[in-house]
A and B are shown apart, each in its own frame.
Chain A
Amino acid sequence: MESKELEILQILEKNSRLDIETIAKMTQLKEEEVKKIINKLEEDKVILGYSTLIDWHKVSDNHGVTAMIDVKVTPLRGVGFDKVAERIYKFPEVKAVYLMSGTYDLSVSIEEKTMAEVAEFVSEKLSALDSVVSTTTHFILKKYKHDGVVIDGEQEDKRIVVSP
């Protein structure tokens, strides 16, 4: 990848709301060039979307639960783990699915409103899949850092206002 593309990706990963003009200045490209690069990265599905990191715990009425489920599966002949993973990630409540090395195969992250709903998902939907051999469910109790951002991290600048 060209270094300017990489530079733009790194800038956007930190703050995807920066305007084109600012990014153009930072990278010393023309605004048109920045637009072109971003469009291409979107078309190539290198940039998959622009989401917002929200601390839902600060929003009342939104006390959902997040669980991470370790899933052991029997891979299917010909399609390996991919087909099983697909059957799992198609559920909209599933937020992430990763194939893992180690003692289990798929790591499934799911968000629901209550623990009961998570339990229902695991017993009725996940475990019901033929290829699923076993599951171990972990509930997240507290998020300290998410996607590189410290939750409730101190933002205050500790430097003195003017120094030589």
Chain B
Amino acid sequence: MTLIDLKTKKDYLSDTVKKMKPSGIRRFFDLASQMDNVISLGVGEPDFVTPWHVIEASFHSLEKGYTAYTANAGLLALREEISGYLENNFNVKYDPEEEVIVTVGASQAIDIALRAIINPGDEVIVVEPCFVSYAPSVELAGGVPVSVHTKSEDHFKLKPEQLERAITSKTKAVIFCNPNNPTGTALTEQELAAVAEIIEKHDLILLSDEIYAELTFDHKPVSLTSLSSMQERTILISGFSKAFAMTGWRLGYVAGPKDIIKGMLKIHQYTIMCAPTMAQYGALEALQNGRENVRHMVQSYRQRRHFIVDSLNEIGLDCYLPGGAFYAFPSIKSTGLTSEEFAEKLLLAEGVAVVPGNVFGESGEGHVRCSYATSIEQLQEAVTRMDRFMKSL
């Protein structure tokens, strides 16, 4: 017996959800997970397990009985640490009492930031290729995503004039991730300043996704918030997933101007209440005593970055040196295949999983994302297989 009238079932879903495209990564995941002996360069998270002292601190909090809700915005002690961390590492000051919220991953921070600022029909500029959730999150918040396509020949660096061309009278905000997933591109302070100038000139809000900031290899990490008077219009989004190897803990944070944070906190308290308490205690430990681990992990990523980039170039896949994150984004145009064809053929022929660049936006077409967050031995084997694949084409 069914309680749903099948004839009208189509009307149960909202129009927004119905027109939302499923993530392009899903199909590829299904294909790869059915195969054995796959070497995956398709994983968007660290290969390190969370450092033990963090896990242990979280255990300890549970043992002591900290199993209840925390303040909506998160443990004050954690917000104070976050504030201190941002000041020490990025030279930006936030009041832990009124300008910081601990969130369920950076993803939730993006969601509540968009919902807090968007009126129906407002345009939000999404700089692509980018993390798959930005545009759908804008749509869910009632906004209209407007893509800016960074270019392969610029190594996917956002040019200020590109950004300016996309701005209309309806533009409310810009979402920008630096260093970038999937391109690994990290802008220098000077390049960021040029972007900031446009955002200030047009009086826009910036959602600055800085989740990969610690993984900046060739210069000191720079927060867009620290430039000029950007802090008054920037919502800084980050978290513990990438730098502290804590993806599964789902813990992020957002820092921003008091009035915006106040608005976001309303949504946060009604929809989430607070981020998981035991994860917050783990994060507190990570910030207090985790610097050495982060340094060690960054060093390891740097070595693997050089290995994968040099090796991809050697086997005929043109690849620039990405300045951050843990992704290489080689061009596969020389093969004459589309990104999806390349990724699928490579997976079926050699059991190496990479992610087609077009799932991160149409400007990613002609590239594939290779995560080098996997052991050097696995990377060696992946390169051997990819070399064989390239020669078979």
Minimum CB–CB distance for A156 against chain B, Å:
11
* Residue among B23, B40, B311 making CB contact with A25, cutoff 8 Å: B311
Query: What CA separation (Å) do A162 and B45 show in the bound complex?
Result: 10
Q: Please state if A161 and B380 are interface contacts (CB–CB under 8 Å).
A: no
8 Å CB interface, A6-20 against B: 7, 11, 15, 18
Q: Residue among A159, A161, A163, A164 with the most chain B CB within 10 A? A: A164
Q: Which residues of A contact B32 (CB under 8 A)?
A: 161-162
Q: Please state if A164 and B25 are interface contacts (CB–CB under 8 Å).
A: yes
Whose C-beta in chain B lies nearest to the C-beta of A14? Answer: B376
Q: Which residues of A contact B45 (CB under 8 A)?
A: 159, 163
How many chain A residues sit at the interface, stated as a range, is 10 to 19
Q: Please state if B303 and A164 are interface contacts (CB–CB under 8 Å).
A: no
Contact flag A164-B131 (CB < 8 Å), given A26-B376, A159-B45:
yes
Minimum CB–CB distance for A89 against chain B, Å:
33
* Residue among A7, A161, A164 making CB contact with B23, cutoff 8 Å: A164
Residue B42 at the chain A interface, CB threshold 8 Å:
yes
Query: What CA separation (Å) do A85 and B51 show in the bound complex?
Result: 38
Q: Which residues of B contact A162 (CB under 8 A)?
A: 25, 28-29, 32-33, 40, 42-43, 353, 355
Residue A59 at the chain B interface, CB threshold 8 Å:
no
Whose C-beta in chain A lies nearest to the C-beta of B35? Answer: A161
Q: Which residues of B contact A161 (CB under 8 A)?
A: 29, 32-33, 38, 40, 42-43, 353
Residue B318 at the chain A interface, CB threshold 8 Å:
no
Residue interface bits B61-73, CB-to-A below 8 A is 1, else 0: 0000000000000
Residue B230 at the chain A interface, CB threshold 8 Å:
no
Residue A1 at the chain B interface, CB threshold 8 Å:
no
Contact flag A160-B376 (CB < 8 Å), given A25-B306, A26-B306, A27-B303:
no
Whose C-beta in chain A lies nearest to the C-beta of B34? Answer: A161
Whose C-beta in chain A lies nearest to the C-beta of B29? Answer: A162
Q: Please state if B33 and A25 are interface contacts (CB–CB under 8 Å).
A: no
How many chain B residues sit at the interface, stated as a range, is 20 to 34
Residue B310 at the chain A interface, CB threshold 8 Å:
yes
Q: Which residues of A contact B33 (CB under 8 A)?
A: 160-162
Residue A61 at the chain B interface, CB threshold 8 Å:
no
Whose C-beta in chain B lies nearest to the C-beta of A157? Answer: B47
Query: What CA separation (Å) do A164 and B134 show in the bound complex?
Result: 12
Residue A74 at the chain B interface, CB threshold 8 Å:
no
Whose C-beta in chain A lies nearest to the C-beta of B107? Answer: A164
Q: Residue among A15, A159, A161, A162 with the most chain B CB within 10 A? A: A162
Residue A22 at the chain B interface, CB threshold 8 Å:
yes
Minimum CB–CB distance for A33 against chain B, Å:
14
Residue A28 at the chain B interface, CB threshold 8 Å:
yes
Residue B307 at the chain A interface, CB threshold 8 Å:
yes
Q: Please state if A15 and B376 are interface contacts (CB–CB under 8 Å).
A: yes
Q: Which residues of A contact B303 (CB under 8 A)?
A: 7, 11, 26-27
Minimum CB–CB distance for B319 against chain A, Å:
13
Query: What CA separation (Å) do A100 and B306 show in the bound complex?
Result: 42
Minimum CB–CB distance for B380 against chain A, Å:
6
Minimum CB–CB distance for A101 against chain B, Å:
25
Residue B44 at the chain A interface, CB threshold 8 Å:
yes
Contact flag A164-B376 (CB < 8 Å), given A25-B307, A25-B311:
no
Query: What CA separation (Å) do A162 and B353 show in the bound complex?
Result: 8
Q: Please state if B307 and A22 are interface contacts (CB–CB under 8 Å).
A: yes
8 Å CB interface, B323-350 against A: none
Q: Please state if A164 and B133 are interface contacts (CB–CB under 8 Å).
A: yes
Query: What CA separation (Å) do A7 and B303 show in the bound complex?
Result: 9
Whose C-beta in chain B lies nearest to the C-beta of A27? Answer: B303
Q: Please state if A163 and B44 are interface contacts (CB–CB under 8 Å).
A: yes
Q: Which residues of A contact B306 (CB under 8 A)?
A: 25-28
Q: Which residues of A contact B44 (CB under 8 A)?
A: 163-164
Minimum CB–CB distance for A92 against chain B, Å:
34
Q: Which residues of A contact B38 (CB under 8 A)?
A: 161
Residue B161 at the chain A interface, CB threshold 8 Å:
no
23 contacts between A and B (CB under 8 A): A7-B299, A15-B377, A18-B376, A22-B380, A25-B306, A25-B307, A25-B310, A25-B311, A26-B304, A157-B47, A161-B29, A161-B32, A161-B33, A161-B42, A162-B40, A162-B353, A163-B25, A163-B42, A163-B43, A163-B45, A164-B25, A164-B132, A164-B133
The 6 closest A-B CB pairs, nearest first, are A162-B42, A26-B303, A162-B29, A25-B307, A25-B310, A161-B32
Q: Which residues of chain B have a CB within 8 Å of any CB of chain A?
A: 23, 25, 28-29, 32-33, 38, 40, 42-45, 47, 49, 131-133, 181, 299, 303-304, 306-307, 310-311, 353, 355, 359, 374, 376-377, 380
Q: Which residues of chain A have a CB within 8 Å of any CB of chain B?
A: 7, 11, 15, 18, 22, 25-28, 157-164
Given A22-B376, A163-B43, 9 further pairs, Cβ under 8 A:
A11-B303, A15-B376, A157-B374, A160-B29, A160-B43, A162-B28, A162-B29, A162-B32, A162-B355
